[in-house]
A and B are shown apart, each in its own frame.
Chain A
Amino acid sequence: MRFLKDIWAIVQKDIVSELRTREIFSSMFIFALLVIIIFIFAIDLSEVRGIDVAPGILWVAFIFSGTIGLNRSFLFEKENNCLEGLLLSPMDRSAIYFGKMLGNLIFMIVMEAFTLPIFIIFFNVSISGRILPLILIIFLSTLGFVLLGTLLSSMSASVKTRDIMLPVLLYPLIVPVIIAAVKSTGVLLEGKSLEGVMHWLKLIIVFDIIFLAVSFMTFDYIVEE
Chain B
Amino acid sequence: MNLSETGKEGVSRFLGWLTFVMVLVALIFIFLYAPTEKEEGVVQRIMYFHIPSAWLAFFAFFVVFITSILFLLNKDRKWDIIAHSSAEIGVIFCSLTLITGPIWGKSIWGAWWVWDARLTLTLILWLIYVAYLMLRTHTNEGSQRARYAAVLGIVGFFGVILNHFSVLWWRTFHPKPKMLDMKGIGSGLDPSMIVTLMVSLTAFTLLYFLLMGQRILLEKMRDEVEEIKKRL
Contact = CB atoms under 8 A, between A and B. Distances in A.
A195 to B, nearest CB: 16
11 contacts: A155-B135, A169-B152, A173-B163, A175-B166, A176-B159, A179-B167, A183-B170, A210-B162, A211-B155, A218-B151, A222-B147
A206 B135 CA distance: 26
Interface residues of B, number: 27
Contacts of A173: 128, 155-156, 159, 163
Given A159-B139, A221-B72, A176 B162 contact: yes
A224 B144 CA distance: 9
Interface residues of A, number: 31
B158 A210 contact: yes
B131 A155 contact: no
Interface of B: 72, 124, 127-128, 131, 134-135, 138-139, 144, 147-148, 150-152, 154-156, 158-159, 162-163, 165-167, 169-170
Nearest to B159: A173
Interface in A163-211: 165, 168-169, 171-173, 175-176, 179-180, 183, 199-200, 203, 206-207, 210-211
Contact of A218 (B124, B134, B154, B169): B154
B156 A218 contact: no
B128 A165 contact: no
B212 to A, nearest CB: 24
Interface in A120-166: 148, 151-152, 155, 158-161, 165
Given A161-B138, A165-B134, A168-B134, A203 B166 contact: yes
Given A168-B134, A169-B135, A176 B144 contact: no
Contacts, number: 80
Contacts of A165: 134-135, 138
Given A159-B139, A218-B72, A224-B147, A172 B131 contact: yes
A218 B157 CA distance: 14
Contacts of B138: 159-161, 165
A30 interface: no
A214 B127 contact: no
Given A165-B134, A168-B134, A218-B154, A158 B144 contact: yes
Contact of A199 (B135, B147, B154, B169): B169
Q: Which 8 A-B pairs give the minimum distances between C-beta atoms?
A: A176-B166, A173-B159, A172-B127, A176-B162, A218-B151, A172-B128, A179-B166, A168-B131
A155 B162 contact: no
B128 to A, nearest CB: 5
B150 A169 contact: no
